[in-house]
Amino acid sequence: MPHIALPEGLPGISAGFAFRPETAKPMRDLAHILLHEPNSLTPGERELIATYVSSQNDCFFCQASHGAAAACHVGSSEIVQQVKTDFESAPITPKLKALLAIAGKVQQDGKRVSAADIGEAKAHGATDIEIHDTVLIAAAFCMYNRYVDGLGTWQPRDEPMYVEMGKHLADQGYQQSSR
Amino acid sequence: MPHIALPEGLPGIRGAMAFRPETARPLNELVEVLLFGPHTLTQGERELIATYVSYLNDCHFCQSIHGAIAAAHLDGDEDLVKRVKSDFQRAAISDRLKALLVIAGKVQRGGKNVTAADAEHARSLGATDVEIHDTVLIAAAFCMYNRYVDGLGTIQPQDEAMYRERGKVVARHGYVEGSKDYLPAEAAAR
Of A25, A33, A142, the CB nearest to B22: A33
- B79, part of any domain: yes
- B96, part of any domain: yes
pLDDT at B10: 96
Pick from B47-51, B98-102, B114-118, B180-184: least confident:
B180-184
Distance of CA A126 to the CA centre of its chain: 19
The residue extents of the domains of chain A are 39-170
Q: Are B149 and B156 contacting, i.e. CB atoms less than 8 angstroms apart?
A: yes
Residue B71: pLDDT above 60? yes
Q: How many domains is chain B partitioned into structurally?
A: 1
- B81, part of any domain: yes
Residue B175: pLDDT above 50? yes
Chain B: residue nearest A56 by CA?
B110
pLDDT at A178: 55
pLDDT at A45: 98
Q: Are A27 and A60 contacting, i.e. CB atoms less than 8 angstroms apart?
A: no
Q: Are A110 and B148 a contacting pair at CB < 8 A? A: yes
Shortest alpha-carbon distance between residue B40 and chain A (Å): 14
Q: How many whole angstroms separate alpha carbon A12 and alpha carbon A62?
A: 8
The CATH number given to whatever domain includes residue B57 is 1.20.1290.10
- B134, part of any domain: yes
pLDDT at A176: 81
Could you tell me the residue range of the domain that residue B47 belongs to? 13-175
pLDDT at B53: 98
Shortest alpha-carbon distance between residue B79 and chain A (Å): 27
- B78, part of any domain: yes
Q: Helix A128-150 crosses helix A43-56 at what angle (to 10 degrees)? A: 40
- Residue ranges in chain A whose pLDDT is less than 70: 178-179
- B103, part of any domain: yes
> Quick one: average pLDDT of B42-53?
98
Q: Are B145 and A139 a contacting pair at CB < 8 A? A: yes
> Quick one: average pLDDT of B82-109?
98
Q: How many whole angstroms separate alpha carbon B129 and alpha carbon B120?
A: 10
Residue B190: pLDDT above 90? no
**What is the ipTM metric for this complex?**
0.98
Q: How many whole angstroms separate alpha carbon A109 and alpha carbon A103?
A: 10
pTM of the model: 0.98
User: Which 119-138 residues of chain B touch chain A by CB within 8 A?
Assistant: 119, 129-130, 132-134, 136-137
Q: How many whole angstroms separate alpha carbon A176 and alpha carbon A153?
A: 19
Length of chain B: 190
Domain A39-170 indexed as CATH 3.40.50.1100: no
The pLDDT confidence band at residue B184, using thresholds 50, 70 and 90, is confident
Q: Helix B129-151 crosses helix B60-73 at what angle (to 10 degrees)? A: 140
Shortest alpha-carbon distance between residue B87 and chain A (Å): 23
Q: Does residue A57 sit at the B interface (CB-CB below 8 Å)? A: yes
- Amino acid in the structure at residue A117: D
Q: Are A142 and B143 a contacting pair at CB < 8 A? A: yes
Q: Are B15 and B155 contacting, i.e. CB atoms less than 8 angstroms apart?
A: yes
